[in-house]
Structure 1
Amino acid sequence: MRKVRGRSIRVGSTSDAPRVELDDLPVDPYRTTLYTAAELYDAPVYADSLDARTYAWSLRPPTSADSLAQALHDHAVDQALTAWLAGRHLVGVMGGHELMRGERAYAEAVHLGSLLGASHTVATGGGPGAMEAANLGGRLAHVGAEALDEALAWLADTPSFRPSVDAWVSAALPVNALGDAPTLGIPTWFYGHEPPNVFATAIAKYFRNATREAILLQVCDAGIVFLPGAAGTVQEIFQDACENYYAATESVAPMVLVGRSYWTVDYPAWPLLQALARGRAMEPHVHLVDTVEEAAALVGG
């Protein structure tokens, strides 16, 4: 049982449940551990990998057995995640998937992950862009600025998973040898066209995006930093705001939006968030800053 945002979640034991025979499945619906990058990228060519095979399987018209298999799988991932979370305090980093390696904003997201990872475990949506950068920073949180610079320089030559996921993954895998601090990714096959990044040391990959979104926000008990992003990031801001709006005072977690102009002019989420927070227990815990250093000081201490 894990307490998140003032509520307790108890998950039963999948190992005790009667097993239903399900055929033609790319994944084990009764798995007991979270995924690793090596497991998802288990073939030299991405199209042959477990991740790609599972995404292709999820796109076919589902039978009742397929739906049952997906539900059992996601329940098993729930259990594995609950076990993995024991003794850890997580800080979330949300942001756009379009952010590219080699860009200044990517380097800043890596720096943010490193600052937060010094005292907490960094959690993201597990995909590319800002999520990848934060997972990388969290993974290398204890190895120093020189290693971060080395990683950024190495990755810059392969800025995106487009046009080649294989090249994107191949460029990233050697960087993992630089550090192995725990960091979490929670992606989904609902967005299977966006491959999971390899820098998360543990990957809780779900079929159901609604389940994944709710769990990602709930497990970030130490707060969440929101980097610039589009519709998905805006959704996460207000889903997290709803959690904090109704939470008991002692369970409110910090929310930090990075980029004053971005969140007041480009996508003016901040004025509405401020209005929601006014007079509530969450009011002193919502922040708008301009730098990742300010964000880390508010959340990562």
Structure 2
Amino acid sequence: MGIPEGVAKPEEQRLGPVLRRRDQVQPGTTDQRLLDTEGDSEWVHTDPWRVMRIQSEFVEGFGALAELPSAISVFGSARTKPDSPEYEAGVRIGRALVDAGFAVITGGGPGAMEAANKGAREAKGVSVGLGIELPFEQGLNAHVDIGVNFRYFFVRKMMFVKYAQGFVVLPGGLGTLDELFEALTLVQTRKITRFPIVLFGTEYWKGLVDWLRDSVVAGGKAAEHDLLLFHVTDDVEEAVALVTKETGK
């Protein structure tokens, strides 16, 4: 049902806060399109509808995590093997963070994320997993006590930052690097209050740190003091001490 036959199409139309004129005028009213039982279902794939889905993800995330105690986000590769030294380090880090009074937040997947969640659970702390919808479904690991799955990376990334007082970054791939540089950028630009970022594994991170110093800083693309935005260590106790010191716990 649109404009009745014989009635001229209006030159101006107001649909809530939206003004449409001339060829952009739509037939019918907003209520009419809502209440019609027949019609195109393509609207569920439009950008305005996606905004509602995005909003719902923020609401669900905020609701699930609002009452968390002080927490540290731990990042690392989903491909880390359970029998590797990196996995064992993740378990020890998760356990030590709980002993220091923190909840542990990870991406909820396998590998290094599972290791940190496992350590947190074994220490009887709060073990959180923030999953993401991917073509190759991973699911949340068995050591997650509070899990939230997200459609959108940017919503998930906000939760990692909003509900954490610091980051511990184990060896990882592109996703780990994405989270690391997101945090470094937010701290560098003072979009968030400074919080500790600890890179665990000096041998793994050495090439990146050298490149930042010898190419990025040396080339004038960053300041020397930006290298102070993070710490590098191989020691679990030192990693936990660094986040504890800078968070004031």
Cα distance in 1 for partners of 2:184, 2:135 equals 23
Deviation string 1:198-224 (CA, Å, 9 cap, x unpaired) is: 21211121111232223323322x100
Seen in structure 2, the aligned counterparts of structure 1 residues 77 and 210 have a Cα distance that, compared at 3 Å, is closer
- Higher-Rg structure is 2
Cα distance in 1 for partners of 2:98, 2:188 equals 27
**Match of residue 123, structure 1, among 101, 105, 122:** 105
Q: 1:204 aligns to what SS in structure 2?
A: strand
The aligned runs of 1:33-72 (5 Å cut-off) are 63-66=42-45, 72=52
> With structure 2 as the length reference, what TM-score do the two structures score?
0.69
Cα distance in 1 for partners of 2:57, 2:155 equals 11
What letter matches 2:188 in structure 1? Y
Aligned length: 198
Contact 2:104-2:116 at 8 Å conserved across structures: yes
**Match of residue 177, structure 2, among 223, 228, 234:** 234
Contact 2:188-2:229 at 8 Å conserved across structures: no
Partner of 2:129: 185
Contact 2:61-2:159 at 8 Å conserved across structures: no
Residue 256 of structure 1 pairs with residue 202 of structure 2: no
Cα distance in 1 for partners of 2:55, 2:72 equals 23
Shift of 1:63: 4.9
Q: 2:123 aligns to what SS in structure 1?
A: coil
The aligned runs of 1:194-233 (5 Å cut-off) are 194-220=138-164, 222-233=165-176
Partner of 1:272: 212
Partner of 1:97: 78
**Match of residue 112, structure 1, among 93, 99, 104:** 93
Seen in structure 2, the aligned counterparts of structure 1 residues 123 and 100 have a Cα distance that, compared at 3 Å, is same
Cα distance in 2 for partners of 1:126, 1:192 equals 14
Partner of 2:21: none
Seen in structure 2, the aligned counterparts of structure 1 residues 135 and 191 have a Cα distance that, compared at 3 Å, is farther
More strand by share: 2
- Gaps of at least 5 residues in structure 2 are 1-33, 36-40
Seen in structure 2, the aligned counterparts of structure 1 residues 270 and 71 have a Cα distance that, compared at 3 Å, is farther
- Gaps of at least 5 residues in structure 1 are 1-19, 22-61, 143-180
Cα distance in 2 for partners of 1:279, 1:271 equals 15
Contact 1:77-1:204 at 8 Å conserved across structures: no
What letter matches 2:233 in structure 1? V
Q: 2:231 aligns to what SS in structure 1?
A: strand
Contact 1:190-1:208 at 8 Å conserved across structures: no
Shift of 1:85: 2.4
Cα distance in 2 for partners of 1:138, 1:66 equals 39
What letter matches 1:223 in structure 2? G
Deviation string 1:68-117 (CA, Å, 9 cap, x unpaired) is: 77654553342233233235221010000001222222111011001112
Cα distance in 1 for partners of 2:210, 2:149 equals 30
Cα distance in 1 for partners of 2:77, 2:232 equals 17
What letter matches 1:133 in structure 2? A
Q: 1:251 aligns to what SS in structure 2?
A: coil
Task: Give the root-mean-square deviation of aligned CA atoms.
Answer: 2.8
**Match of residue 86, structure 1, among 43, 48, 67:** 67
Seen in structure 2, the aligned counterparts of structure 1 residues 63 and 218 have a Cα distance that, compared at 3 Å, is farther
Contact 2:168-2:199 at 8 Å conserved across structures: yes
Q: 2:78 aligns to what SS in structure 1?
A: coil
Shift of 1:262: 0.9
Seen in structure 2, the aligned counterparts of structure 1 residues 131 and 70 have a Cα distance that, compared at 3 Å, is farther
> With structure 1 as the length reference, what TM-score do the two structures score?
0.58
Contact 1:138-1:183 at 8 Å conserved across structures: yes
